[in-house]
Chain A
């Protein structure tokens, strides 16, 4: 087996894995019953699937150009910074809107101090 064939197999496996992970995330987004459960699913696409595609791209372009090409990692860094911010903002917005509407809230995680201030606008 030549090195180029091994690289192609690695790229194909990583791409198919990312496809399966993104489809899992979409199924979770569609099937899970509650909003706070649904929030868990899309982060799979932003972390594991994005890393699979980035690794596949690094392997492919490194073999294509004959030198190490790592510029795709910028996107992963950007996603790693932006995804938690979006998630926290959305969770606070959902908690606030649910409290305004009088719908049942999810039970608090631990101490009573974190549950009383979380999500309320200051």
Chain B
């Protein structure tokens, strides 16, 4: 791992952290419930990308499985929340 790549990864992680802060702001402020669900879905995607960047940084494949789980759990959670907003219950 060269220092050049370490600096690039650090800058990328700082940009991701700013994005997570803005998404969390929308999660807290969001005027409606569906705004909050949208912000939560976005946060899941950003944390997934953070896992992939950390896999590059530490040259380990363990982060890949964490990212895979993040994608699955994020999809199930967002779909269930959207279904709940639409119908009032998740499983009918």
Contacts and interface: CB of A to CB of B under 8 A. Distances in A.
B62 interface: no
B22 A29 contact: yes
A89 interface: yes
Contacts, number: 150
A38 B38 contact: yes
A53 B82 contact: no
Contacts of B12: 15-16, 18-19
A3 to B, nearest CB: 14
A53 B49 contact: yes
Interface string B1-39: 010110011011111101111110110000011110111
A53 to B, nearest CB: 5
Nearest to A31: B22
Interface string A21-52: 01101110110000100110010011001100
B86 to A, nearest CB: 4
Chain B interface SS verdict (over half): helix
Given A22-B19, A29-B39, A74 B83 contact: no
Interface of A: 8, 11-12, 15-16, 18-20, 22-23, 25-27, 29-30, 35, 38-39, 42, 45-46, 49-50, 53-54, 56-57, 60-61, 64, 71-72, 74-75, 78-79, 82, 85-86, 89-90, 92-94, 96-97, 121
30 contacts: A8-B2, A8-B4, A15-B8, A15-B9, A16-B8, A19-B14, A19-B15, A22-B15, A22-B46, A25-B42, A26-B22, A26-B23, A26-B42, A29-B23, A29-B39, A30-B22, A35-B34, A53-B53, A57-B55, A61-B59, A72-B52, A75-B48, A78-B68, A78-B72, A78-B75, A82-B71, A82-B79, A86-B41, A86-B79, A90-B85
Interface of B: 2, 4-5, 8-9, 11-16, 18-23, 25-26, 32-35, 37-39, 41-42, 45-46, 48-49, 52-53, 55-56, 59, 64, 67-68, 71-72, 74-75, 78-79, 82-83, 85-87
